Each structure stands twice: as structure tokens, then as C-alpha cells.
């Protein structure tokens, strides 16, 4: 559903070559907006413009929330992340916009914020955690710049207990998906398993990023640049794929996916294949797991997926490999070979 943004101004101009182009502005005479209407980038750009226009009162939390949205800490985030943050910031504004900054150092304030999170948790623990996380990040930014004396949301823990531990695609899951899913979704699965990249980056991945041997991309969330050799199965799939668009992954009409359209199609295809308990996002962790099972080092895995070494180690320690029986099988076979060779 498209959100109607108040005051947005549309201007259509004719270029020298005869083509028409449409520009969007936050309001008449206001700044030009990024992205296309309805996209996360467009909404985040609009919200940032409004935040710059409205001068909030000083000495209250609203001023810090607006200041954060003008900082590079916020503007450097991926468009989708910015849009998600803005939603949470609006929730905080509605509850604590006029909260005095001087009261943040009061030890009772943490209890006030926790009671608010508990109220949100009555509807959704996950969303309550996200709102708390965003508020904690804003206050951390403000504290680092000397705008507030304390961050009462530090180390608040989590209410939502589920993690992605054990959430990996099995070989049976992969086979079931390829057996029943529409052909135009097969390449998405292959790309995810053989590159370990995020859904958003794969949906934006253009054919220009693939030279027939390697894939080069810059991750939108971290800015990390990765160069990924195309494994033989992925190379075969890419070389055989029709180039219907400038991007590699397209829908059944040969057009670039929208994020919502892809998620909906993927969800339906997974349900038809009888796949439960795992999502597209779990393919990133699955790729890490499979690389480790192939005896890749942490550095090799990080080079492919774009994770930091610390993050790779964290994934392997806490989420995936500790519970993968294939590792135990591999370890015992190695021990058997060593024992046989020493006798």
C-alpha cells in the first residue's frame, strides 16, 4: 500500500533530447527527493527533509531525535534501514517527544522506558525490541556528542527470545524448492547459496557486476566491496539465464523485482515446496555454514560474504556450526584417518 505524503510536489520537465523526466520535491520550493514514490528511499528522503524544515524545541528528546536524522550516522544507513528507523522514531516521538533531556540522567528514567517497552511488547515483543534498539542508538549518538549526560537504554537486553539458531536450509529444502518453485526463482536461490549476500543486494545486482568469471558488488548495508568467483553451478546458471533486464533477478514478466513482490513470491513458493522454519534471509547463514563445512577458513568465508572476521566467528560459534551434525561426522572421519595412519 502506497503511503500518501503531505505536500509532495511533482514537476515534469522536458530534456534537450525530447524526453520527459519527473522530479519530486518535499514541498513546493523544497528539496528534491531521492528514489521513486512508494520506495523506502523516497519515504526516508521525505522524512529527513521534513525534519530539517521543522525546528523542534530545545531541551527535549524531540530535538535529539530530529538531530540524529540529520547526522551521517543516519544518512549513511541503507534506504530500507532508514525507513524502518523512521517508523520507530515516530513511535518514540509520540510517547516521549517532550521528555526533558535533563531527566535522562535520573536513575528512574530507565524504568520509565522499560515500562514503555513492556507496553509495546503486549502487541509484539520483536517490535518492542526494535523500538528500544533505535532509541538506544539515538541516545548513544547524542551522548557521544555531549548532547545528553546519560543513555538509560544501554544494555537493555531483549524481550523476543527467538534467534536464527539452527535456521539453515538443508539439501532436502534446496531440492524441494528447485523441484516445485517457478523457474524465475531458481537463480535467486543459487545466487544466495553461492554468494551469501543479502536479499536487497541480490535484487539490485546488475548484469554489469558479472564478467563471466566473478561477481563484484558493494553491499548497501555496510558499504563493503566484495569480489566473488562464480562457482561452477552458479556460473552455469548465470550463463544460461536470459538477460531480460539490466538486473539479474527478474519476475515472471522479465522485470526487476520490487522488494515486496519478491518476498511474496518467495513465501508462496516456499509454502508450495513444503519448506517451513526457514526464510530467504537464512540462506546467508546457510552459505556461511556450507563454506565452513567445505573447510574454508574464516578469512576465506569473510572474503566471500562480506562479513567481518568477528561476525563470521560469531555466526559459526553461536548460530550454525555448533548444531550441524555434518561437522561431527567430518571430525570423526578425520580422527579415524589419523588413527589409521599412525598404526
Tens-place pLDDT, residues 4-44: 677 788 888 777 777 788 888 888 767 788 888 888 888 88
What is the rounded distance in angstroms from the CA atom of residue 264 to the CA atom of residue 261?
5
Alpha helices, DSSP H only, in the chain?
A: 40-53, 61-70, 72-75, 79-96, 109-121, 125-144, 171-180, 183-195, 199-204, 232-240, 259-272, 282-293, 298-305, 309-318, 325-342
Q: What is the pLDDT of residue 77?
A: 85
Check whether 222 has a pLDDT greater than 70.
Answer: yes
What is the rounded distance in angstroms from the CA atom of residue 62 to the CA atom of residue 87?
14
In this structure, which topology does domain 171-332 adopt according to CATH?
Answer: hpI Integrase; Chain A (1.10.443)
Domain segments of the chain as ranges:
9-144, 171-332
Is the CB of residue 127 less than 8 Å from the CB of residue 145?
Answer: no
> Other C-beta atoms within 10 Å of 317: how many?
10
Pairing of strands 214-218, 225-229: antiparallel
What is the rounded distance in angstroms from the CA atom of residue 249 to the CA atom of residue 242?
10
Q: What percent of the chain has pLDDT over 90?
A: 54
Q: What is the pLDDT of residue 261?
A: 93
Check whether 318 has a pLDDT greater than 80.
Answer: no
Name the grid cell of 146.
555531549
Amino acid at each position: 500500500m502506497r503511503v500518501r505524503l503531505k505536500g509532495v510536489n511533482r514537476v515534469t520537465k522536458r530534456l534537450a533530447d525530447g524526453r520527459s523526466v519527473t522530479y519530486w520535491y518535499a514541498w513546493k520550493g523544497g528539496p528534491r527527493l531521492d528514489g521513486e514514490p512508494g520506495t523506502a528511499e523516497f519515504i526516508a528522503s521525505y522524512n529527513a527533509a521534513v525534519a530539517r524544515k521543522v525546528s523542534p524545541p530545545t531541551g527535549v528528546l524531540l530535538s535529539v531525535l530530529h538531530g540524529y536524522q540529520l547526522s551521517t550516522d543516519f544518512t549513511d544507513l541503507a534506504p530500507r534501514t532508514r525507513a524502518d528507523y523512521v517508523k520507530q522514531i515516530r513511535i518514540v516521538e509520540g510517547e516521549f517527544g517532550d521528555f526533558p533531556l535533563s531527566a535522562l540522567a535520573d536513575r528512574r528514567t530507565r524504568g520509565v522506558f522499560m515500562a514503555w517497552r513492556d507496553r509495546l511488547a503486549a502487541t509484539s515483543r520483536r517490535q518492542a525490541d526494535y523500538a528500544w534498539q533505535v532509541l538506544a542508538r539515538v541516545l548513544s549518538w547524542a551522548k557521544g556528542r555531549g548532547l545528553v549526560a546519560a543513555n538509560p537504554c544501554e544494555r537493555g537486553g531483549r524481550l523476543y527470545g527467538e534467534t536464527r539458531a539452527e535456521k539453515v536450509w538443508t539439501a532436502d529444502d534446496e531440492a524441494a524448492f528447485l523441484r516445485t518453485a517457478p523457474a524465475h526463482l531458481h537463480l535467486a536461490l543459487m545466487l544466495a547459496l553461492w554468494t551469501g549476500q543479502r536479499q536487497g543486494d541480490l535484487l539490485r545486482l546488475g548484469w554489469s557486476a558479472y564478467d563471466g568469471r566473478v561477481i563484484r558488488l558493494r553491499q548497501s548495508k555496510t558499504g563493503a566491496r566484495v569480489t566473488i568467483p562464480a562457482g561452477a553451478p552458479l556460473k552455469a546458471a548465470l550463463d544460461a539465464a536470459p538477460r531480460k533486464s539490466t538486473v539479474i533477478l527478474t519476475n515472471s514478466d522479465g522485470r526487476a523485482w520490487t522488494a515486496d513482490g519478491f518476498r511474496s513470491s518467495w513465501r508462496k513458493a516456499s509454502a508450495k515446496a513444503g519448506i517451513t522454519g526457514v526464510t530467504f534471509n537464512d540462506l546467508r547463514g546457510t552459505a556461511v555454514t556450507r563454506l565452513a563445512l567445505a573447510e574454508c577458513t574464516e578469512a576465506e568465508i569473510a572474503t566471500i560474504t562480506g562479513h567481518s572476521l568477528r561476525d563470521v566467528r560469531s555466526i559459526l560459534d553461536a548460530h550454525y556450526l555448533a548444531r550441524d551434525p555434518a561437522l561431527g561426522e567430518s571430525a570423526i572421519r578425520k580422527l579415524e584417518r589419523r588413527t589409521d595412519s599412525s598404526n
